[in-house]
Structure 1
Amino acid sequence: MRGAWAGLAAAAALGLALAVLVWRRRPRPVREVLFFPSQPICTEALLAEAAAPGAGSRPRPCPCPLPRGDCALGRLLRRLLSARRSLELCLFAFSSPPLARAVQLLHRRGVRVRLVTDAQSMAMKGSQIGLLRHAGIQVRHDQESGYMHHKFAIVDGRMLLTGSLNWTTQAIQSNRENVLVLEDEEYVKAFLDEFERIWEEFDPRNYSFFSKDSK
């Protein structure tokens, strides 16, 4: 009888040890805050690695004089480039070339990219929206008197990036801004539900256009 109890105790201890080991190996959910302005950096290495992941060779050194190193923009790019299946973007303004290049790279890798933006801001000088649409990325915009003023992204339906930052060079390099990055199922679901609601509301089949002569 003692032998049976000892065997059960040993099995329980082994099971507990394995559970602890698995728990320790499980990656912690992402919790990160990015503060801007971000110093200008060379983003070529990040983008080149994303363009040819696992190529086994280092990208050629970039001749530009910008420094290399860790900064808010680099971290934001890495979070975006981690997407493997989907990327939802809900942005008031988008004129940052490095971020636009990252989104195009994801699209070429087969990531489903959908973008919602503001009709007035997409017409501003330097906007990247036209280039993204030309690349085949799905884009929808509002038709309201108020602004579509959201600023968030959802990576693979699991990671949320949201804050005050417009995706513009001005905001990234000059403004006091913030981006919160987190993996939290409850918050991600709330923002994803909002994105889907707006996506359906801004369906082009619902757009209405009026000529200047209409009264």
Structure 2
Amino acid sequence: MDLDQIRYQFEQTLDDRRLSRSEKRALSRVLDGVALTPHNLSVLRRLAFEVAATGFNDVPARETLGWLEDVIKLLVPSPEDSIADVESHFSPGDDCPTRIASLFQTAKRTVDVCVFTITDNRIASAIADAHRRGILVRIITDDDKSFDAGSDVERLASIGIEVRRDRSPYHMHHKFAIFDQQTLLTGSYNWTRGAAEYNEENFILSGDLRLIKPFQATFDQLWQQFAATN
């Protein structure tokens, strides 16, 4: 965690005592890759307060406090922004693509996707829209499936989303995604029209950190592992 870089970004955004949309995106990029462990969050909050303290000397205190509130919200989204309870979804029947798309529509910082294949254009469009909003989207997928007819993976890669493939004789068969490091989606459900309309599939959503942390660790390990093969 590069605290000097983060301090510099805090100081730049404090300059006008407001955290604009573009500044939030820039700050999110700096924070991307920082594991939001309790220790790191404590360090970042302390740093934000230290930077804010310098602003009390020359401007009304409430303006600096407004900036500080925005930074803290960015570091620690409020509980209502995450899924506290577990949701279960089944196909065919439930509108699974719409629920998955809604998660991309409400993402604030990052989405890590680790799925066997993506051929459902409704989900692919939501992924592309999130990327265009400045959300950092990373995709891990299976090499054998990413070039199949109907696959949306190459189209998503072509607009600047970083995609990594396993490049092995075996399958990268996971089907999970992590939204803002706060919401986990996982289950048998493939992100395909066949899964939505015909297959007996399922996925769950959970905000339980006991589940999210090992899935995030697995994603990060595969992301590094597949870097050498892409």
TM-score by length of 1: 0.67
Q: Partner of 1:32 in structure 2?
A: 87
* Greater per-residue helix proportion: 2
Partner letter of residue 152 of structure 2? Answer: Q
- Give the 3 Å change call, closer, same or farther, for CA 174–158 of structure 1 in structure 2: same
CA distance in 1, matches of 2:165, 2:125: 20
Structure 1 residue ranges without an equivalent (≥5) = 1-24, 40-70, 209-215
Q: Distance in 2 between matches of 1:72 and 1:91?
A: 15
Let me know the Cα RMSD of the aligned residues.
Answer: 1.7
After superposition, the C-alpha distances for 1:193-214 in whole angstroms (9 at most, x for unaligned) are: 00000000000xx228xxxxxx
Are 1:38 and 1:73, in contact at CA under 8 Å, matched by a contact in 2? no
Give the one of 107, 118, 132 matched to 2:131: 107
Counterparts of 2:136 and 2:126, CA distance in 1: 13
Q: What's 1:173 paired with? A: 197
Q: In the aligned structure 2, how far is the partner of 1:101 from the partner of 1:89?
A: 14
2:139 equivalent to 1:84:
no
Corresponding residue number in structure 1 for 2:158 = 134
Alignment of 1:119 with 2:174, yes or no, is no
Equivalent AA in structure 2 for residue 105 of structure 1: D
**Taking structure 1 as reference, are residues 38 and 133 closer, same or farther at Cα in structure 2, changes over 3 Å only?**
farther
2:188 is equivalent to residue 188 of structure 1: no
Contact 2:165/2:229 (CA < 8 Å) preserved in 1?
no
- Per-residue CA deviation, residues 29-54 of structure 1 (Å, 9 max, x unaligned), is 13100111147xxxxxxxxxxxxxxx
Quick one: distance in 1 between partners of 2:197 and 2:186? Answer: 18
Are 1:207 and 2:225 counterparts? no
Letter in 2 for 1:34: H
CA distance, structure 2, for counterparts of residue 79 and residue 133 of structure 1: 20
- The amino acid that maps onto 1:110 is G
Kept in 2, the 8 Å contact 1:92–1:118? The answer is: yes
1:26/1:113 CA distance change after superposition, 3 Å? closer
Q: What's the TM-score once normalised by structure 2's chain length?
A: 0.62
1:72-112 C-alpha deviation (Å, 9 max, x unpaired): 33222212322110000001011010100000000000000
Count of aligned residue pairs for this structure pair: 151
Cα distance in 1 for residues equivalent to 2:229 and 2:124: 26
Q: After TM superposition, where is structure 1 displaced by more than 3 Å over at least 4 residues in a row? A: 25-28
**Mapped contact 1:118–1:147 kept (Cα < 8 A):** yes
71-80 or 129-138, which moves further after superposition?
A: 71-80
* In 1: Cα distance, 2:196 partner to 2:135 partner: 25
Q: Distance in 1 between matches of 2:108 and 2:125?
A: 16
Look up the equivalent residue of 1:30 and give its one-letter code.
D
Contact 2:120/2:193, CA 8 A, preserved across alignment: yes
Match of 1:34, SS state, is strand
Identify unmatched segments of 5+ residues in structure 2: 1-77
Identical aligned residues as a percent: 34
